[in-house]
């Protein structure tokens, strides 16, 4: 099996579960030494154990990123140390989605969403980009969302924060691309979570009804896209947002 990320190092935020976990496992299988990061040390240890049991390289760095530059820099420093002094690939995956409408969103919630979803990855990228440039280049992958371009009647703040990340992707591609850092994003569709209850799964199925896929996706689909964008196969790809959403945003949905 060809290991497309052999010899690379990677930090994946929010990688103790769901999409982040799948990306960490996939990167390790492709030969990368990964740092799994998140708030839950128990779940982080489980991901690291899974990767190591499969013959991969992984370490855990606990982080509760809130948007303050100090916490982002602390994670950047710890990850760099665990990875032998360099981070080749940064995946800005961590995010929160509080279930609030516009009338019920208070200032604290607003600031927390933008702190975690926008400020934290901004300052983490700020902390890691200079070393990537000094080492000859690197890769930054951001996670967007399908609801940044197809409005839904809830989650306005979340969708706005993810729209900001998609805009940062293009801005960073222009800023860092000439210096050797490729910056791209993935926009997941409705992705199933292992923790969903039956009611949530039913809602997800309704949201995907009439799409080409006709069902919610699995986190591994996002991980496969991340492996491609992080690998040399995507060396000529800069500043894109890759939709991995079962056709939810690109194809007219006909309810049946």
Range of the domain at 137: 9-189+218-240
Q: What was the pLDDT predicted at 248?
A: 92
> Tell me: the pLDDT tens digits for 193-203?
877 777 777 77
Q: Is residue 212 part of a domain?
A: no
pLDDT higher than 70, residue 70: yes
Q: Report the mean per-residue pLDDT for the chain.
A: 94
Q: Is 15 in contact with 38 (CB distance < 8 Å)? A: yes
Whether 228 is catalytic: no
Q: Is residue 20 part of a domain?
A: yes
Q: What was the pLDDT predicted at 202?
A: 74
Q: What was the pLDDT predicted at 205?
A: 79
Residue 121 belongs to domain with CATH number: 3.40.50.720
pLDDT higher than 80, residue 226: yes
How many degrees, rounded to 5, is the angle at CA 133 between CA 131 and CA 137? 110
Express as a percent the part of the chain with pLDDT over 70.
99
> Tell me: the pLDDT tens digits for 39-54?
999 999 999 999 999 9
> Tell me: the pLDDT tens digits for 144-176?
999 999 888 888 999 999 999 999 999 999 999
Q: What was the pLDDT predicted at 210?
A: 87
pTM exceeds 0.85: yes
Name the active-site residue from 158, 168, 189, 227: 158
Q: Is residue 198 part of a domain?
A: no
Q: Is residue 249 part of a domain?
A: no
Q: What was the pLDDT predicted at 192?
A: 85
The arithmetic mean of pLDDT across residues 11-21, rounded, is 97
Residue with tokens 């961590």: 94
Q: Is residue 196 part of a domain?
A: no
Q: Is residue 130 part of a domain?
A: yes
The arithmetic mean of pLDDT across residues 2-12, rounded, is 95
The tally of domains found in the chain comes to: 1
pLDDT class for 256, splitting at 50, 70, 90?
low
Q: Is residue 107 part of a domain?
A: yes
pLDDT higher than 60, residue 2: yes
Distance CA 123, CA 125 (A): 5
- Strand order of the β-sheet with 241-244 is 57-62, 33-38, 9-12, 89-92, 138-143, 181-188, 241-244
Q: What was the pLDDT predicted at 122?
A: 98
Q: Is residue 53 part of a domain?
A: yes
pLDDT higher than 70, residue 1: no
pLDDT higher than 70, residue 130: yes
């Amino acid at each position: 099996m060809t290991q497309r990320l052999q010899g690379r190092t990677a930090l994946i935020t929010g990688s103790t579960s769901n999409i982040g976990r799948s990306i960490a496992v996939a990167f390790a299988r492709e030969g990368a030494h990964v740092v799994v990061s998140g708030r839950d040390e128990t779940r982080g240890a489980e991901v690291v154990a899974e990767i190591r049991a499969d013959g991969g390289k992984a370490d855990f760095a606990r982080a509760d990123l809130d948007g303050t530059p100090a916490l982002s820099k602390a994670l950047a420093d710890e990850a760099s140390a665990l990875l032998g002094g360099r981070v080749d690939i940064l995946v800005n995956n961590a995010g929160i989605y509080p279930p609030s409408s516009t009338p019920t969103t208070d200032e604290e919630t607003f600031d927390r969403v933008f702190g975690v979803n926008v400020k934290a990855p901004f300052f983490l990228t700020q902390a890691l980009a200079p070393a990537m440039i000094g080492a000859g280049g690197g890769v930054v992958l951001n996670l967007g969302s399908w609801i940044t371009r197809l409005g839904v009647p809830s989650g306005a703040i979340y969708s706005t924060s993810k729209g900001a990340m998609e805009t940062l992707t293009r801005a960073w591609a222009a800023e860092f691309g000439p210096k050797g850092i490729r910056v791209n994003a993935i926009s997941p569709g409705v992705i199933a979570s292992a923790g969903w209850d039956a009611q949530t799964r039913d809602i997800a199925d309704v949201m995907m009804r009439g799409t080409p896929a006709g069902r919610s996706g699995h986190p591994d689909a996002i991980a496969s896209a991340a492996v491609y964008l992080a690998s040399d196969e995507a060396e000529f790809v800069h500043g894109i947002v890759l939709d991995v959403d079962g056709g939810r945003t690109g194809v007219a949905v006909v309810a049946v």
